[in-house]
Amino acid sequence: MIFEIVKSRGLSHKSYFIGSRGAAAVIDPRRDVDIYLDIAKRHDMNVEMVFETHRNEDYTVGSLELSKLVDAKIYHGAGLDFAYGNPAHEGDSFEFGSLQLEVLETPGHTPESISITVKDMDASEDVYMVFTGDALFAGEVGRCDIYGPEEVERMAGSLYDSINQKILPLGDGVIICPAHGSGSVCGAEIRDVDITTVGYEKKTNPLLQKTRRDFIEHKVAERFYIPPYFKRMELNNQRGVEILCRLPHLRALSTVELQGMDDGVQIVDVRDPESFAGGHIPGTLNIWSEGVPAFAGWFLNYHDPIVLVDYDGSRIESVERYLIRLGYDNIYGYLAGGFSSWFKSAGPVETIEPCSVHELRDKLEDPSIFLLDVRKEWEWEEEHIDGSHNIYIGILEEKLEDVPKDRSIILYCDTGYKAGIGASILKINGYINVTNVLGSIMAWKKAGYPTLGVEFHG
């Protein structure tokens, strides 16, 4: 049996390649599908089937792309009307080589979610592993808020039943292969491991210790942001998107070319926040490269050309892949030679004042500062630096009226990266005195400085 986990960083997305005796299936492929072709070639296998465990909302799935290139059949849950592929129902079974895959309907994250069990018939008729999609993760379960707050209770009940009546009964020894790992926006507290087992989750997953009532209550109380691009991903994944065939070749732009582009151009500086602080092109958005999968969808539109700015080009291809996975087909180019080619050409340069947590402590005395925490609302409630105001980074642009223009704005988040996004947004919007706390609350706490929680949460 060939079994390979394909992890997509940033999205913390996991897809799987499973094959036996020349035939293979891919579960939840990403949109840049070259990696599956490479695995197939390495093992002399044909990808015959592509399974989607659910209609994804956080990225554009690569089923159509892969299917087109290798002539495979696509299957997804029967509970939704997809414009492509085939419906898979409870108990549907697919065989290739020594493997038998079988569909379990496991609604809850979405109504049409499915899990797929794997038996190795050479060894036994017992289930060996199960692909659980966004139903069950290591240490977590899927979100139930995708269909709106009014549906959470119903969906949570449904998810509880799926897990308890379908997945856990498979047996403690069954290996669980979820669709996301640690860091995904699709689950709050996913553990940082590749695989887990039913038995280990039953013992250690806090959600599985709850009664149905407590489980639902927990899910109803749970709070998530829904990035604006989720809607587009849902459409993409229900209707299908254009076939790319290959990663688009990006144009290497000179400073002069970049300066000559229309105002609409979306320039994204993918360097780290302290580098952006040390110098950047005025008016540009800063999203560090590994933050692109999770944050680009909050800020970039799907029509104006996107141009990337990097140190030296080494991050361009991975950022391009990240954007492609989010359905961006409007990536135009990148600044040739990186940021330094801008300043060598006498392009105007702006800076942001960075500050360490030790400097922050000294500045807190100063009444003219406005301390802005851009983490999630509930993270702030849990614990924050005294005196800070909270606006989540994703909605900062909508809430600018809450940020005073006449004060020194000091931003922080977990470690300084999201604060870097925020600092760039404030600068774009005309704020002059903007400071980013490098290390943010993580360093603040390591340094032993005090934090506050909001009473009713603490």
Scan residues 111-150 and list those touching its own copies (CB under 8 A).
120, 122-124, 126, 128, 138-139
Minimal distance, residue 133 CB to its own copies, in Å: 20
Calculate helix-pair angle for 316-325, 292-299, nearest 10 degrees.
60
Where on the phi/psi map is residue 184: left (φ > 0), alpha (ψ -120 to 50), or beta?
Answer: beta
C-beta of 21 vs 154, nearer to its own copies: 21
Report, in angstroms and rounded to the nearest whole number, the Rg of the chain calculated over CA atoms. 23
Scan residues 182-201 and list those touching its own copies (CB under 8 A).
191-195, 197-201
Would you give the binding string for its own copies spanning residues 429-458, x where CB under 8 A is met? ---------xx--xxx-xx-----------
Residues whose CB is less than 8 angstroms from the CB of residue 425 and which lie 6 or more positions away in sequence, other chains included: 285, 299, 396, 397
With CB under 8 A as the rule, give the number of residues binding its own copies: 86
Query: What gap in Å lies between CA 298 and CA 227, rounded to an integer?
Result: 6
404 interacts with its own copies by CB under 8 A = no
64, 70, 167, 434: residue in contact with its own copies (rule CB under 8 A): 70
C-beta of 95 vs 192, nearer to its own copies: 192
C-beta of residue 41 within 8 angstroms of C-beta of residue 63: no
C-beta of 153 vs 350, nearer to its own copies: 350
Q: In 3D, which of 16, 10, 1, 2 has the Cα closest to residue 194?
A: 16
C-beta of 87 vs 199, nearer to its own copies: 199
Scan residues 13-52 and list those touching its own copies (CB under 8 A).
22, 37, 40-41, 44-46
Q: Compute the C-alpha angle 323/328/333, nearest 5°.
A: 75
260, 283, 348, 453: residue in contact with its own copies (rule CB under 8 A): 348
In the chain, the amino acid numbered 382 is E
Minimal distance, residue 446 CB to its own copies, in Å: 4
Scan residues 316-345 and list those touching its own copies (CB under 8 A).
317, 336-337, 339-340, 343-345
**Per CB under 8 A, which region of 7-15, 148-156, 277-285, 370-378 contacts its own copies?**
277-285
Would you give the binding string for its own copies spanning residues 360-399, x where CB under 8 A is met? ----------------------------------------
252 interacts with its own copies by CB under 8 A = yes
In the chain, the amino acid numbered 14 is K
C-beta of residue 270 within 8 angstroms of C-beta of residue 309: yes
* Separation of first and last alpha carbons in the chain: 49
Minimal distance, residue 449 CB to its own copies, in Å: 9
Scan residues 281-320 and list those touching its own copies (CB under 8 A).
311, 313-314, 317
Query: What gap in Å lies between CA 15 and CA 51, rounded to an integer?
Result: 10
Give the neighbor-by-neighbor strand order of the sheet with 266-269. Answer: 251-253, 331-335, 306-309, 266-269, 285-286
173 interacts with its own copies by CB under 8 A = yes
84, 89, 95, 349: residue in contact with its own copies (rule CB under 8 A): 349
Query: What gap in Å lies between CA 315 and CA 333, rounded to an integer?
Result: 13
6, 27, 155, 174: residue in contact with its own copies (rule CB under 8 A): 174
